[in-house]
């Protein structure tokens, strides 16, 4: 029984069928290799899903806050500024930059703050997948666009500005 490790009784380790198999101690190497091969994709998946979820929270909260700020403002100039500030704050809170096309406001009535009119606010943000270089993103799109829409109604009893 040369090359065969002995158990406590001094005999070789036997496998199925009573045959003697050498135990070379490679279980640790196999465990570490398989652990890394399974763990790395799982960690990347968790990071990616976390980033996409953060974008979802940011766009949803930004659209809701922008719609509320828009319909509560005294005039359209203040309304646009308040809506933009609300979206920027919501996106920055989750670690995203607010570009000029991050928010779009549409009104069902003209002027926008007509009592009973509806205001639709759309917020979108591009999420670049973690660890993807910009050069690769330029060739093959590796980003996800997250969009959210919120509708708010201007108060029917709002005083109309002259």
The per-residue DSSP string of 110-162 comes to SSTT-TT-EEEEEEEEEEEPTT--HHHHHHS--EEEEEEEEEEE--TTPPPP-
pLDDT along the chain (162 residues), means of 10: 52 58 70 88 93 95 96 93 94 88 92 92 92 84 92 86 57
Range of the domain at 130: 25-153
143 falls within a domain: yes
pLDDT at 81: 94
92 falls within a domain: yes
133 falls within a domain: yes
1 falls within a domain: no
Report the domain count for the chain: 1
16 falls within a domain: no
pLDDT at 1: 46
pLDDT at 19: 64
pLDDT at 28: 79
20 falls within a domain: no
161 falls within a domain: no
43 falls within a domain: yes
pLDDT at 22: 62
């Amino acid at each position: 029984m040369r090359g065969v490790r002995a158990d406590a009784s001094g005999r070789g380790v036997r496998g199925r069928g009573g045959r003697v198999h050498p135990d070379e101690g490679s279980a640790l190497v196999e465990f570490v290799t398989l652990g890394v091969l399974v763990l790395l994709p799982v960690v990347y998946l968790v990071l990616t899903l976390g980033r996409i979820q953060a974008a979802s929270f940011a766009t949803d909260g930004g659209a809701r806050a922008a719609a509320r700020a828009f319909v509560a403002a005294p005039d359209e100039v203040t309304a646009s500024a308040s809506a933009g500030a609300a979206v920027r704050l919501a996106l920055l809170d989750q670690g995203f930059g607010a570009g000029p096309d991050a928010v779009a406001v549409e009104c069902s009535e003209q002027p926008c703050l007509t009592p009973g009119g509806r205001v639709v606010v759309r917020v979108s943000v591009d999420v670049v997948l973690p660890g993807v270089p910009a050069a690769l993103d330029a060739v093959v799109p590796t980003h996800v666009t997250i969009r959210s829409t919120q509708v708010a109604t201007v108060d029917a009893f709002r005083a109309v500005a002259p």
